[in-house]
Structure 1
Amino acid sequence: MTEPYVILNIKNSVGYIEFFHPNRNSMPSDILTKLKDTIEEAASHDAINIIVLQSGGDRTFCAGASFNEVMAVNNAEQGKAFFSGFANVINAMRRCPKLIIGRLQGKTVGGGVGLAAATDYCLATKFASIRLSELSIGIGPFVIEPAVTRKIGLAAMSQMTIDAETFFSAEWAKEKGLYADIFETTKDLDEAVKELAEKLSAYNPEALKQMKSVFWEGTKHWETLLIERAEISGALVLSKFTKNTLKRFR
């Protein structure tokens, strides 16, 4: 696999949405837009009752924002537009009337942690450690903070944000509530995801829809909040500190 993609496959009333980028599944704007559009497509597809969000490859679920694209930001408007990509995906997941199961096969960083937190039920392998590295490069996890805090609590969110150069283990993520369960191998993970998704797909769709609404009660203001947060990140990425730091990752 060398070309980025976002695909939707439907099997047994389950919509499997898979994204991929050869650079550790990092997320440039076009992939974020395709992911948002695909989630919205699956949300309205009559043949889909349950959605699974997953990524291609073996080692990394999502490396977060594309550093190359972040480094290319030249003004606040461009910065806001880029970071709004993650905001739009999270809001699409939040608005989706169908339950979304996350399938995390490996490490995830930054915005990828936000995607995991925005799923309704997340399963992972023991290799799926997590990190919020944003402060270490001069910005912060502003856009994804509401989703992460909602799932693991402010104390754990703060710990990850401040300890920005540490990968927290899958066991830690399960203890804090980000993962519902963790598995020894990707094969075990896939079997568990398939079993759960197909079982849920046979449940009353209206009951599932109403429960999804309950799960996300009180988040309608995220439509504007996450875009406001994107504006903060978009301004910070222009700072001399951030630009110099990002050059080390080139």
Structure 2
Amino acid sequence: MSTDHAQVAVVTGANKGIGREITRQLAQRGLVVYLGARDEQRGRAAERDLRAEGHDVRFLQLDVTDAESVSRAAKRLDSEVGTVRVLVNNAGIGGPMHPPSQTPADQVRTVYETNVFGVITVTNALLPLLRRSGSARIVNVSSVVGSLTAAAENVDPSGVHPPGAFPTMLSYATSKSALNAVTLTYANELRGTGILVNAASPGFVATDINFHHGVLTVEEGARVPVLLATLPDNGPTGTFLGENGTAEGQVLPW
């Protein structure tokens, strides 16, 4: 292997925004990071920029909604490195801001294909490689708007939205609720295996998904996902952690 025994991370949706910054921060910690991206030109440009900073970052063609693409990526990783220590399921898309009653089911289905089914496809494909590490970390990049508890109370625990104005984005919010449930089911299956599975809410980060209306930088938004990706062996599993400016983050309600 050409990794010189370095630990390997895979980050999906990593050619820009939070994913790219997660890639950078993991590489800064000495991991070899495979930068997953659908678009080869954009992915290779991000790889070039990060390698110019001195990081061992490698473009990985990966469309989470395409099972064949995911399978090819898994085979390449198996061939090149044989084991993966960290998987960050970051790839995600937003949805229309219409009220639920005005949101067509097809729009919801499209968001779920990436935000939910894509995570399942990638996780299942890479799980054999993660098991080989003996101490792996899976981080699903979620959102506080996926909290069912917060939705029921109509209060945003992150404070971005005023009380009584919890977002009602049918496609995006419920896709993150589903992703949270996916996180817990994998966490429970993998308890005792050394694989820790957690969900991260990066906070209201200025990225393309919100037309850069967010208040946090990508550096701030990457902090909690990276924290969960680098947990010690006695770290938590099945937790939902959000960015609140503290070193340990904010435990969010499911």
The bucket for the TM-score relative to the shorter chain is: 0.3 to 0.5
TM-score (norm 2): 0.34
TM-score (norm 1): 0.35
More helix by percentage: 1
Q: With CA pairs under 8 Å and 6+ residues apart, which has the higher RCO, 1 or 2?
A: 1
